[in-house]
Structure 1
Amino acid sequence: MQLYNTLSAKERELLIEEAGKERLTISFYKYAHIKNPQLFRDYLFIHWNALDVLGRIYVAKEGINAQLSVPADNFEAFKQHLDSISFLEHVRLNIAIEQDNKSFLKLKVKVRHKIVADGLDDGSFDVTNKGIHVDAQKFNELIEDPDTVLVDMRNHYESEIGHFKNAITPDVDTFRDSLDVIEEDLKDHKEDKKLVMYCTGGIRCEKASAYYKHKGFKQVYQLEGGIIEYTRQVKKKNLENKFLGKNFVFDHRRGERISDHIISNCHQCGQPCDTHVNCANEACHLLFIQCEACAKAMNECCSDACKTIHALPFEEQKKLRKGKHASNKIFKKGRSEVLKFKK
């Protein structure tokens, strides 16, 4: 039985266009005890492939983390399947604010050591002893309290294009890095300040809240459902939107606009811009912010060197890449000496 993709991204893109059906982009997570992640992974692939689900799903002994898209016509069937799994029954689904039928082009269900790479020894603390979840209205009240410290638990390239006003935005590459930075910065306020955290959909804050309680913080809160759910509640309840700019998302869209503010700049010319792209040179693939004018002038590349390589015939580009490990700049998103206007 087929338990992996057989179509390329381009082939899948054509099928989506031919089908002409609207798709919903969804994310969810759940911490749970999964005894056999590989068996659960195969079970999900078989059922979700039949529903034409596409996306990136991580399964581990500690739970599941999913970002995916599903045809709108199959949403109810997909939801029923989730509800048939005991620990996923009525799980909160974060449905994207801005829809894109091509947000995902393959179904990838992978077994990982953890559903979020955090580098923590989970055996040293109780991951279920999490902080207090708050909705958008309570969150807005908390972040106006002078005794609150608001922390963005995302990485530098995420918060650069959008964050809540007055939030601490650690200049870090990984979630694990942010944990130590925040603890050090707030070590003198473990008892007298309210630690309020947020992230994209809630998964990082859930683990972080338990970690910080273990580290001695007395008042720990997290935004329920993250920025995605916050935006939905703000619109539904007509609340004040305190988020500035875009919410970075981990699919082909790379961002959802939450407010009209543009708080970042093109990394090549410095003009206001919050559009993330990947360098067109496949040997580089660096994630950075590029405006339309620079994209045209640089042929969608991050540097003159990459522009020269990208202009070569495809076969010559392949020869240059042969035997070389992918540049670590792929994983150092937005960090390169060629980006003159990176904040």
Structure 2
Amino acid sequence: MSYQVLLYYCYTPIENPEQFRDEHHRLCLDLDLRGRIIVAAEGLNGTVSGTREACAGYMAAVKADPRFAALEFKIDEVEAHTFQKLHVRLKDEIVHSSLRHVRPHEKTGQHLTPQEFKELKDRDDVVVVDVRSDYEYNLGRFKNAVTLDIENFRDFPDRVERLQEFKDKKILTYCTGGVKCEKASAFLLEQGFENVYQLHGGIIKYGHEVGGEDFDGQCYVFDGRVAVDVNTVNPTVISRCHHCQQPSPRLINCANPHCNAHLPLCESCGELLAGACSEACAAHPDKRPYDGTGTYPKISNHYTPAQGLASYRG
């Protein structure tokens, strides 16, 4: 395969994030990378796709900056771009939360390698906690993981009370690539949990390094692939079609933009309902045309650094 997808993040202070965003955007344009990158005063978070050569150039350029010396790239091989556009956005946080005071680069949960996580996860004195959103863990999650009924990561602080019964255990958090765990584990420490750990590199690295053992279902990813297999040891499908309830790993957005529910829908039901989650949504006058994918990429606003929109926040 001649293309790659890079998944990465780094919590590190960026003094002038607007200037950095513009410079970073130019770098990506020069390399013909596509994807979603978030820049904030607290760091960098992104997923991009490009040719092997372009990705190699990008990784070298990022790692040449001392601020990102600790950054690790998770790399997947793909056949073509997994994004249609490039977005480099300036935000208040690199992952949307209600924990802006938390500084993971100063204090966070202890990092576990995938092998260490695998060896610890089934012990009696351990509880494994999924800090992702419900549509993500409904598609795939670790066996016996505790889920927290989260629609968005900003809900996490309000769900921590549910973990009080496990306060005497080791808390092992995990997410897709690690960025959410950095803040989640730091917040747990702040709330008085003493033995807090996180799966370093997330589910993706766990799949790469130890075969994804005991991760049931598929892993949701934030690019055109939507979901990827990570378990090559004991794979299974846990999600069921929203309409017919048959096992299906196929995730879609409802074609009715006023609903836009993110849920599993098998190919047969997708055709039957024209990409909608229900007959009511299928009949809605604003329903989007269904092309069989069930994904509706956002249209680029065509911002480029050359426009000099210093106040643009994407």
In structure 2, relative to structure 1, the CA distance for the partners of 1:50 and 1:313 (3 Å cut) is closer
* TM superposition shift of 1:313: 10
SS in 1 for 2:189: helix
1:199 to 2:199 alignment: no
SS in 2 for 1:122: coil
In structure 2, relative to structure 1, the CA distance for the partners of 1:193 and 1:308 (3 Å cut) is same
1:108 to 2:84 alignment: no
TM-score by length of 2: 0.85
In structure 2, relative to structure 1, the CA distance for the partners of 1:296 and 1:41 (3 Å cut) is same
In structure 2, relative to structure 1, the CA distance for the partners of 1:312 and 1:156 (3 Å cut) is closer
Cα deviations by residue, 1:112-131 (Å, 9 ceiling, x for unpaired)? 011111112416x7752111
| Rg larger in structure | 1
In structure 2, relative to structure 1, the CA distance for the partners of 1:312 and 1:189 (3 Å cut) is closer
SS in 1 for 2:78: coil
What CA distance in whole angstroms lies between the structure 1 residues aligned with 2:85 and 2:174? 29
In structure 2, relative to structure 1, the CA distance for the partners of 1:211 and 1:72 (3 Å cut) is same
What CA distance in whole angstroms lies between the structure 1 residues aligned with 2:17 and 2:288? 43
1:58 to 2:34 alignment: no
Task: Give 2:5's aligned residue.
Answer: 25
SS in 2 for 1:120: coil
Residue in structure 2 matching 1:119, options 75, 98, 110: 98
User: Contact (CA 8 Å) 1:196, 1:221: kept in 2 or not?
Assistant: yes
Q: Which has the higher contact order (CA 8 A, sep 6+)?
A: 2
1:187 to 2:164 alignment: yes
What CA distance in whole angstroms lies between the structure 2 residues aligned with 1:267 and 1:218? 39
Task: Give 2:281's aligned residue.
Answer: 306
What CA distance in whole angstroms lies between the structure 2 residues aligned with 1:91 and 1:207? 16
Instruction: Between 107-116 and 169-178, report the one with greater CA deviation.
Output: 169-178
Task: Give 1:278's aligned residue.
Answer: 253
1:247 to 2:219 alignment: yes
In structure 2, relative to structure 1, the CA distance for the partners of 1:119 and 1:269 (3 Å cut) is same
User: Contact (CA 8 Å) 1:128, 1:210: kept in 2 or not?
Assistant: no
TM-score by length of 1: 0.78
In structure 2, relative to structure 1, the CA distance for the partners of 1:311 and 1:144 (3 Å cut) is closer
Instruction: Between 34-43 and 259-268, report the one with greater CA deviation.
Output: 259-268
1:35 to 2:11 alignment: no
Unpaired runs of at least 5, structure 2: 290-314
Task: Give 1:263's aligned residue.
Answer: 238
User: Contact (CA 8 Å) 1:25, 1:100: kept in 2 or not?
Assistant: no
What CA distance in whole angstroms lies between the structure 2 residues aligned with 1:121 and 1:79? 27
In structure 2, relative to structure 1, the CA distance for the partners of 1:90 and 1:71 (3 Å cut) is farther
Which structure has more helix as a fraction of its residues? Answer: 1
* TM superposition shift of 1:166: 0.8
RMSD value over aligned CA atoms?
Answer: 2.1
Letter in 2 for 1:207: K
Residue in structure 2 matching 1:143, options 115, 121, 133: 121
What CA distance in whole angstroms lies between the structure 2 residues aligned with 1:88 and 1:127? 11
